[in-house]
Amino acid sequence: MNQVRIGIIGTGSISEWHLKAYAKNSGAIIAAICDLNEQRAKQIAEKYGAEKTFTEYRELLADPDIDAISICTWNNTHAELCIAALQAGKNVLVEKPLCRTVEEALLIEEAVRVSGKILQVGFVRRYDSNVQMLRQFADNGEFGDIYYAKASTIRRLGNPGGWFADIERSGGGPLIDIGVHVIDLCWYLMGRPKVKTISANTYNKVGNRSHIRNLSFYKAADYDASKNTVEDIANALIRFENGASLMIDVSFTLHAKQDEGSVKLFGDKGGFEVDPAVVIVTEKYNTILNVHPQTDSPSFHFESAFQNEINHFIECVQQGKQPLSPVEDGVEMMRILCGIYESAAKGEEIRL
């Protein structure tokens, strides 16, 4: 296959990153755009020179001219769109989270298997060049056995409203929306160990804080603060079968002094931080060293990671290669996320 003809479904906030990156990849052609909101679809099609626009995704999928699609819609549509696209013979890049439930995830996995097409899950953090560098260090045993990880993504004011805050369409709140990024990042860098137990809590105490003035925050394309059926904050302790553990907390709203993002992993030979900036911690000649790798960006660089993610998808489609973030990992992440919600609802530790 030479150039890959792309259809984009969903033209809200995240789609712009897909579009910008496809536009810069000479192996991709942005051929069609689809959104329920026709005006939005047409504006984007004009901006990126796409020939066709649709409001009904099935019409886009029926077009034999499209080789692959990016799914950039609400989480409740991911399973339906992935399965329909795979059955229509399209390769799929689906935004995180893969879907809302483990049942949906297993249906997608089956559709991938039957179709033989590529499905890449949009775990964009994996495609950050610092993460790939750290993964190489980890794979070569520089940190020894990574037995503990700790990640935090705290927004004090950051409930995006609209579908994000509607559990029917999102499947959950900050955990499934932003927690998925750092849980996947830790799990991937720990070598994808098998989960044994989860003990978690969710809280719904302060609401979406839409009354706050003078401080702006990220909002859904169709922002609406009137409905909020998701948690404000989730925390969890995940224990793996190899004895390692992961602690996370993640919020949309919290009476915190400031937003915070930290991702730290600890091994028996060394440790490292990914967020807020890359640091490697090690020992030499009875001395502790904090090593700062010299790279283009010491902290997560969204634009270049996105470009890498899109370039990788195009390469996988062209060469029939298995993606770095395959459906199986999307399924495992749904087991973890849903396990966290289940443990919190039961008020006790659960065993996977």
To ligand NAD, the closest distance from the beta carbon of 9 in angstroms equals 5
Per CB under 6 A, does 333 bind ligand NAD? no
Indicate which single residue of 6, 8, 34, 121 sits in contact with ligand NAD (rule: CB under 6 A).
34
Q: Establish if 127 lies at the interface with ligand NAD (CB under 6 A).
A: no
Collect all residues with Cβ–Cβ distance below 8 Å to 121 and sequence separation of at least 6: 94, 96, 98, 323, 325, 326, 327, 329, 330, 333
Tell me: does residue 66 bind ligand NAD (CB under 6 A): no
Decide if residue 12 touches ligand NAD (CB under 6 A).
yes
Residue 334 touches ligand NAD, criterion: CB under 6 A: no
Q: Are 298 and 278 in contact (CB under 8 A)?
A: yes
In degrees and rounded to multiples of 5, residue 216 shows phi and psi of -90, 160
Which listed residue (7, 122, 158, 193) binds ligand NAD by CB under 6 A? Answer: 122
The conformation of residue 321, written as its DSSP 8-state character, comes to: P
Residue 309 carries which side chain, given as an amino acid letter? E
Taking CB under 6 A as the rule, does residue 67 contact ligand NAD?
A: no
Fill in the per-residue mask, 80 to 119: x = in contact with ligand NAD (CB under 6 A), - = not in contact.
---------------xx-----------------------
Question: Of 25, 53, 70, 73, which one interacts with ligand NAD (CB under 6 A)?
Answer: 73
Residue 63 backbone phi and psi in degrees, to 5: -80, 115
Residue 199 has which token pair? 């003990």
Please state, in angstroms and rounded to a whole number, the distance separating the CA atoms of residues 208 and 210: 5
Which tokens go with 161?
């409203």
CB under 6 A: which stretch of 35-43, 84-92, 148-156, 209-217 binds ligand NAD? 35-43
CA atoms within a 13 Å half-sphere pointing along the CA-CB vector of 97: 32
Q: Which of 104, 177, 184, 275 binds ligand NAD (CB under 6 A)?
A: 177
SS3 155: coil
Residue 11 backbone phi and psi in degrees, to 5: -125, 45
> Which residue in the shown chain puts its C-beta closest to ligand NAD?
12
Task: Determine which residue in the list 22, 48, 143, 163 makes contact with ligand NAD, applying CB under 6 A.
Answer: 163
Identified binder of ligand NAD from the candidate list 4, 6, 8, 9, rule CB under 6 A: 9
Q: Exposed, middle or buried, 141 (CB in 10 Å: 0-12/13-18/19+)?
A: exposed
Which residues contribute to the site for ligand NAD (CB under 6 A)?
9-15, 34-37, 40, 57, 72-75, 77, 95-96, 122, 124, 162-163, 177, 220-222
